Amino acid sequence: MLPRLPSPSVAIAGDGLIRTLVSQLHKTYIWLMERASFFSPQAGRLIDAPLRNKARFAIGDVVKHRIYDFRGVIFDIDPVFANSEEWFESIPHEVRPEREQPYYHLLAENGEGSYVAYVSQQNLQGDGEGGPVDHPSIEQLFEEFDGGRYPLRRGLTH
């Protein structure tokens, strides 16, 4: 005996379900293809990030913080927040930045001394006209201050 064929309404409902599933799979595939992962030693885990992200600043640029009184030169860029959860949670909630934006590693200075800072893009603005940055590690990574920025040392470029 031949199996009984489903009624046309069941076949259409099944076809709609298949189309919905294929559409969801396609959206998931596109989302995955637009993402990348990298290991962050600071966070101690893999970080999920967009495959493309627009950094407003570049390595060697001199920037200053929009709220706090410090400035620095950028020596590394993360496409999204890639530090520890403890670090993120230590930021007061009312000024806590979004995670899905570039974060910059700075050789920073303020009135009290020099240090390394980790700052979100939304909290930085250009400061090339403010002159050179006074940080002891600059000579290891960069050439002399020139035109509002620091060129990366030749041996450190790709």
For the chain, give every domain's residue range: 53-156
Per-residue pLDDT reduced to its tens digit, 18-41: 777 666 765 665 555 677 777 878
Residue 108 forms beta bridges with which residues? 72, 115
The average pLDDT across 110-124 equals 96
The average pLDDT across 112-116 equals 96
pLDDT of the residue at 1: 46
Q: How distant, in Å, are the alpha carbons of 3, 38, 55, 133, 140 from that of 156?
A: 71, 21, 20, 20, 10
The average pLDDT across 88-110 equals 93
Closest CA to 78 of 116, 47, 104: 104
Tell me which CATH code domain 53-156 carries: 2.30.30.390
Q: Between 158 and 132, where is the model more confident?
A: 132
Closest CA to 76 of 54, 36, 98, 103: 103
